[in-house]
Structure 1
Amino acid sequence: MAGQYILAHDLGTSGNKATIYDFKGNLCASVLCEYPTYYPQDGFVEQDPNDWWRAVCSSTKRLLQEAGIRNTEIAVVSFSAQMMGCLLVDHCGEALRKMIIWADTRSVEQEAEMIDKIGMERGYHITGHRLSASYGGAKLLWIKENEPDIYDKAYKMLNAKDYIIHRLTGAFVTDYSDASGTNLFDLERKMWSEEIVNALDLRMDLLPEVHASTDIAGGITPEAAMEIGLLAGTPVVIGGGDGSCACVGAGVVEEGKTYNVLGSSSWISIASKTPVFDPAMRTFNWVHLDPDLYTPCGTMQAAGYSLNWFKNVFCKDEIKEGKVIGKNPYQLIDKQILQTAPGANGLLYLPYLLGERSPRWNFQAKGAFIGMKITTTKADFARAVLEGVGYNLKVILDVFDKTYPVSDVVLIGGGAKGEVWAQILADIWQKPVLIPRYLEEATSMGAAICGGVGIGAFPNFSVIKQFNSINKTIVPNLKNGELYNKLYKAFNVAYNGLLDTYNMLNMND
């Protein structure tokens, strides 16, 4: 093996993060190159794939230069990327229109059409997901019905990383994890679902070859090598969707292992030999980077968003003071929370600022504070926000606990930096919370390990234990757990009691 380093690209919503790791798991360098998102009208959210390519080329060159690494030292390139998009390209791989990305909501009529023709429960048991406008299938159906000329000219439907892989190698491929975010993929058979494609009268030939994430798509072509600054022939391993890559980066590579990403949104996911089909369809399933595993998952909309909202609306003084003394305002908020008792003086927060996906699947839900008294303080409100997110995540965790009893939870993402929140989560869930070495590099690290496994540098995904070892364990407080258990029941009763109110409030939206 000529090269000594792994180059991983993480094509996110706001930009491409390029990273280089050595074979011992050390992060050698990281570069972010941003690109725009386009909003042609309300509910329409698109990106130009040419912007991705420019970002990948630019970040690669900058990364090699800043790291002082020659292109001959790159052993493999692999990918993590945003999921659930729809990009149509011609035979040459040229984009026929901008990609409709995951955040786009234009396909609500197509969602209803899918539910009518397939049935929600049938669709859930084939794909592992609810049938939804969020996924690539509904977006493809929208293009067919609204832009038939583009649909007829199309050769393949790709996701973000698939497009870049084609630019690098000439191959039209995707992996199991990205395929499982289309609503067109048979999750257990690991192949495109003829039943769904035929029911929607879509073209099967539009769907690319499906591979394991660790498969090599090909070598970098001489033409692409000139543009990107890498060596022609460098192997390109397909990689996976960002959620599945984060799963590996968090160290969740064995059956029953569990992690939580605590970012603007938040999700809990486990590694499982089989999909988890929740009778209430509260959770959903991806394919793991390891093709022998799945990643059952539940995602909430406003986790870090809730804390950020609270900071911006109620903590002007903390923001101002933080600038003066050189501290993050979240540290000052945490300091206040430590002066309050668990349970926030009987105050509950329902974290539905953006409606909710899993576990509620209610886009009409609204945020709420319940239980205010004359003695309620701003610090109580701050604690209630953190606790409310914890209760909502516990709903997801409880689903998985019934199938795979969860022993502990690895915590990653920006929210994992605050030990106060980690302790609150441990106490609500009554499970140890494990804090790894790298908190915000999980997706790129998962892609890097996928690349290493793909070229045989690593025997399997268990090498992540060396890459991202556990630095700290937060032990749950049993006494706090008893209190939180009572409040968790009240949290769920409060949500159900407000359902009619949400509907009434939405009349004014």
Structure 2
Amino acid sequence: MSGDPVFLAIDAGTGSVRAIAFDEGGRAVARAAREWTHAATPGHPGGADFDTTGGWQLISSAVREVVGLLRGRPVAAVGVSSMREGFVLYDEHGDEIFACPNTDGRARDQAEQLTRRGLADRIYELAGDWVSITAPARLLWLQQERPEVFAAARHLGMLSDWVVYRLTGEFTTDPTCGSSSALFDLAARDWSGELAAAVDLPARILPQALEPGSTAGAITAAAAEATGLPAGTPVLVGGGDTQLALHGIGATAGTPTVVAGTFWQTTYISDAPTIDPGRRIRTGCYVTPGTWMVEGISFLSGLSMRWFRDAFCPDATAEGGNAYDAMERWASAAPRGSNGLVAVLSNIMQADAWHHAAPAFVGFDINAPERFDRGTFVRAIEEAAAYVARGHLDILDEVTGGRARASGELVLTGGSSAGVLWPRIIAETTGLSVRPSTAPEATSYGAARLAAASVGAELPPAGRSDRIVVPEPAAIDEYDAAFERWRRVYLAQLAATEASGIAPLFTPPGGLAYRTDPTTTRAKDTIYG
């Protein structure tokens, strides 16, 4: 082999797998991607299966393509990341017998059983997440619906762990992805024997938890044949996508970050396993030992913009350049508050009762098309995402004793950070200065940074920018009023959704029922059913 070494990242995301090689300067020198979908589980509405055979073929193909593009340049180490929550079960031979992605919602009845039994409360207290789309309810589903599969299980791992297993033959996990199972004791950064026992899961099934940056093993002969990577190449334990994205941009404790992709995560890195007593947001382990990540999740904020682009803006590229740039130019002509137009999309997170209204646009005047053109609707979509981010930031500030807002700054990363208008709306809505960090492959880069560190190299944080968007005081006042209007409209639409039976944007498995309240969208302690 010839040339300087590179560090390979494999990211098994919700919609695709990416393999990217970064050089010692942090530049991407070769990349390949393969899209995948997750088949519905027959007979179980909301269920989704992960195809381990087909998935491994796609991963192998992407890695082999990157290896070919490197033309003999050596791969010093491999880092792995994946979507969170999804997991894999293996039998005594190491063969996969069950696998699901993060989007799997088959265990609705079982999540509600855990809620009624009071176990959901204990899981949230120890593991920092509710039972809606995490492992406890899915494991209970297996016991009740496929007992033969559950009985045959000898190993469990998250999806990043599965990639590592396919590469090395070793069963491991790491705290960032492992804690998304809701089977972790956050304070210990390890599996909880109590929670495993609560769902009748034998402790022997759970793999060793190693801190991020630890070497899990090396490329086996079989993996070398499949991927083109040399046998013996070191492979690190996997990691959760959001945490590795924060690591990729060098996020630090004290400054909140919004990771703005298909979903938006408003995050804060804490030096303690902070649990929200209101059971609104969730907590997971962060990359550095002794640190945790608290986050509020916004449903489909980035996808909402793509939907509007595809449905209503086919001519956006006619002006030349990126369609989103054109849409933001149109939106810039609309005033703050979008002339009273309110986009009802994602709700502020309430982990134990995360109810969303049916998507809607409320408050437009069909007699005033000049005030309610496409640009006004685009601005309303961007404002709706900013309102949810503000709501999550308020909760983060509350549970951290005022530390989340103390710096006066917020970092914005992900695809939505590339715009001009969206960062300004977020600054004016939250009242914080916004520093965009344009790192389009932040998760992969975070994995590569860990891989480099494992062999004594250091990659610089990605996407550092000197650009800071400072909110104007008058704009903050305007958005304070607009935010309260959005809350009132959302609450009314939530009630209308419940009364009409129209499909909401999302309803959580195992969620508490809600009743409308004049001051809040918080859930009441009334169990579904």
* Distance (Å, rounded) in 2 between the aligned partners of 1:78 and 1:239: 7
Partner of 1:102: 102
1:320 is aligned, of 285, 290, 315, to 315
Deviation at 1:162, TM superposition (A): 1.2
Aligned residue number for residue 341 of structure 1 = 335
CA contact (8 A) 1:358 1:396 kept: no
Partner residue in 2 for 1:380: 376
1:300–1:356: 8 Å Cα contact kept in structure 2? yes
Q: Retained in 1: the 8 A contact 2:427–2:469?
A: yes
For residues 108-147 of structure 1, the aligned pairs below 5 Å read: 108-132=108-132, 134-147=133-146
1:293 aligns with 2:296: no
**Structure 1 length normalisation: TM-score?**
0.91
Q: Judging changes above 3 Å, is the alpha-carbon distance between structure 1 residues 107 and 3 closer, same or farther for their aligned structure 2 residues?
A: farther
Identity of paired residues, percent? 27
Aligned to 1:217: 216
* Corresponding letter in the other structure for 2:341: L
Q: Equivalents in 2 of 1:437, 1:181: separation in Å?
A: 26
How many residue pairs match? The answer is 491
Identify unmatched segments of 5+ residues in structure 2.
Answer: 505-529
Secondary structure of 2:180's match? Answer: coil
The match for 1:202 is 201
Of residues 397, 400, 403 in structure 1, which corresponds to 2:396?
400
Q: Distance between the aligned counterparts of 1:86 and 1:8, measured in 2? A: 20
Q: Which residue of 2 aligns with 1:88?
A: 89
Q: What is aligned with 1:267?
A: 265
Task: Label 1:333 to 1:422 Cα distance change in 2 as closer, same or farther (>3 A).
Answer: same
Alignment partner, residue 511 of structure 2:
none
TM-score using structure 2 length: 0.87
Of Structure 1 and Structure 2, the greater helix share is in 1
Q: CA-to-partner distance for each residue in 1:248-307, whole Å, 9 max, x for gaps?
A: 12321x222321122222111111111332222111011112122111111011212222
Q: Deviations over 1:363-384 (max 9, x none)?
A: 3522233333444412322212
Residue type matched to 2:308 in 1?
F
Q: CA shift at 1:508, angstroms? A: 7.2
CA gap of 1:192–1:50, structure 2 versus 1, over 3 A, is same
How big is each residue's C-alpha offset from its partner over 1:302-336, in whole Å with a ceiling of 9 and x where there is no partner?
212222233344x2xx41352x4444332222222
SS in 2 for 1:472: coil
Aligned to 1:368: 360
State the 1:91 CA deviation: 2.8
Residue identity opposite 1:21 in structure 2: F
Alpha-carbon spacing, 1:363–1:479, altered in 2? closer, same or farther (3 Å):
same
Contact 1:247 1:442 survives alignment (8 Å):
yes
Q: What is the RMSD of the two structures over their aligned residues, measured on CA atoms?
A: 2.2
Distance in 2 between the 1:454 and 1:260 partners? 28
Specify the SS of the correspondent of 1:47.
coil
Pick closer, same or farther for the CA change 1:210–1:349 going to 2, 3 Å.
same
Amino acid at match of 1:217: A
Which letter maps to 1:203?
A: P
Rounded Cα–Cα distance in structure 1 between residues aligned with 2:268 and 2:221:
40
CA distance in structure 2 between the partners assigned to 1:399 and 1:326 by the alignment: 41
Tell me if structure 2 keeps the 8 A contact 1:123–1:130: yes
CA distance in 2, matches of 1:409, 1:301: 20
8 Å CA contact 1:349–1:369 kept in 2: the answer is: yes
The amino acid that maps onto 1:139 is R
Aligned residue for 2:524? none
| Change in CA separation of 1:428 and 1:5 when aligned onto 2, cut-off 3 Å | same
The alpha-carbon distance between structure 1 residues 453 and 506, as it changes in their structure 2 partners (threshold 3 A), is farther
C-alpha offsets along residues 108-144 of structure 1, whole Å, 9 cap, x if unaligned? 1111222233444322110011222x11222122112
Cα distance change on mapping 1:69 and 1:156 into 2, 3 Å:
same
Alpha-carbon distance in structure 1 between the residues aligned to 2:171 and 2:473: 53
Does the 8 Å contact 1:15/1:55 carry over to 2?
no
Contact 2:345 2:357 (C-alpha < 8 Å) held by counterparts:
no
Identify unmatched segments of 5+ residues in structure 1: none
Deviation at 1:361, TM superposition (A): 4.0
Q: 1:321 to 1:266 in 2, by over 3 A?
A: closer
For residue 389 of structure 1, the aligned residue among 385, 388, 401 is 385
Q: What does residue range 359-508 of structure 1 map to in structure 2 within 5 Å?
A: 361-373=353-365, 374-375=367-368, 376-378=371-373, 379-402=375-398, 403=400, 404-406=403-405, 407-438=408-439, 440-458=440-458, 464-465=460-461, 467-506=462-501
Other structure's SS at 2:92 match: coil
Q: In the alignment, is the contact (CA less than 8 A) between 1:141 and 1:202 conserved in 2?
A: no
Query: How many angstroms apart in 1 are the aligned matches of 2:16 and 2:354?
Result: 29
Superposed CA offset, 1:141-160 (max 9, x none): 21122111111111111222
Within a 5 Å distance, the mapping from 1:133-212 to structure 2 comes to 134-212=133-211
Distance in 1 (alpha carbons) for counterparts of 2:355 and 2:103:
14
Letter in 2 for 1:418: G
* Structure 1 residues 229 and 329, CA gap change in structure 2 (3 angstroms): closer
| Residue 174 of structure 1: how far off its partner (Å) | 0.8
